[in-house]
Structure 1
Amino acid sequence: MEEQQSPFKAAIQPGLTIGLVSLAITFIAYFIDATLLGSAWFGLIALVVFFVLIIYFGRQYRTEIGGFISFGAAFNFSFIAILISGIISLIGQVLLFHVIDPSLPGVLSDLAFENSLKMMESFGASADSLSPEQLEEMKASTSNQFTLSGQLMGFGIGIIIYAIIALILAAILKKRDKSLDY
């Protein structure tokens, strides 16, 4: 009888694959036009690819273990795969922002600041209504997101988001064997 892989072990390969695909998408966007990394639609496309891949690998794992998976096992599989993917993405972004192109954080920070101002205006607030100190604080907070400590802190917050996403994915992936019901 063949021994089944635990959700933790089974999630390693999909996590690596999703992380590398995410990194490839990031670098392709960077090479096409670095400002794509700051656009909302790029983030949306990356998120859709991410969800499609994790659901694909989750269903593949469910099939491998007999077609049924509990919510807990699906959560463990999803969370570990997402966490590994996030670590790979973090390493790639640190390399991109601090080794490959150290000027990129400034470009993306300026773009994020401009997008924030545009969003404020779309809600009826004007940049003129903010004091210069408030504008400087906004600019500094967007710049801090791209520092090494900002990226690490973002990853820490991301772990909470990863858990929420894994809960959603576990609800999608779970499937119980109804033949065991009495």
Structure 2
Amino acid sequence: MDKTIKSIATNFGIYLGVILSSVTVIAYATNLELLTQAWLGISLFVAIIVFGIIAVSKSKSALGGYISFKEAFTAYFITVMIGILINAVISVIIFNFIDPEAAVTLKELVIEKSIEMMRNFNTPEDALADALNQMENSPSQFAISSMVQSVIIQLIIYSVIGLIISLIMKKNNEDL
């Protein structure tokens, strides 16, 4: 693989990781409830995809306007993977080592939001009780095992999106 693609993707992955981590740190420092807001989750989801697209676009430019499907996907995937991993490591450090109580507080906030949303959808009380019991007995979302599982799931989801983006952005040189 061309070093240019890996270099560009790595740089954008680091930028993405810094942005995602900054949001986590700022929310932790100011208001944990921000981390339960749907608008923030959607914004970060879009930001991750945009950074992947930018990395593919910059790689394509660096390659003279042509990029294969494999090269496009590699640029996208490396960017997303690095960004997500940096944020996961920062989250583990904050919520497992620096302030484990914040993880407990955040779990309670997530449970409250989930129950509230389920009530808005007129979920039966017995189903609410079961869901509440399940959420309370689940491990912390910041436990290392939970974070590894979360990173894997995120990478799968973003990879599917990346495959579509790579298909759209690929441009083969017909002269070769």
- TM-score normalised to structure 1 length: 0.83
Match of 2:154 in 1: 158
Contact conserved, 1:35 with 1:107, CA < 8 A, in 2?
A: no
The number of residue pairs the alignment matches comes to 175
Match of 1:67 in 2: 65
In structure 2, stretches of 5+ residues that fail to align are none
Match of 2:167 in 1: 171
* Paired residue type of 1:91: V
What's the RMSD between the two structures over aligned residues? 2.3
TM-superposed CA distance for 1:134, in Å, is: 5.1
Contact conserved, 2:115 with 2:132, CA < 8 A, in 1?
A: no
Seen in structure 2, the aligned counterparts of structure 1 residues 117 and 19 have a Cα distance that, compared at 3 Å, is same
Greater Rg over alpha carbons, structure: 1
Deviation per residue, 1:112-133 (Å, 9 max, x gap): 112221222222213x223856
Pairwise mapping of residues 1-182 of structure 1 onto structure 2 (< 5 A)?
Answer: 5=3, 7-126=5-124, 128-130=125-127, 132=129, 135-141=132-138, 143-177=139-173, 180=175
Seen in structure 2, the aligned counterparts of structure 1 residues 131 and 167 have a Cα distance that, compared at 3 Å, is closer
TM-superposed CA distance for 1:105, in Å, is: 1.2
In structure 1, stretches of 5+ residues that fail to align are none
Deviation per residue, 1:147-173 (Å, 9 max, x gap): 222112222222322321321331343
Q: How much identity, in percent, do the aligned residues show?
A: 31
* Paired residue type of 2:12: P
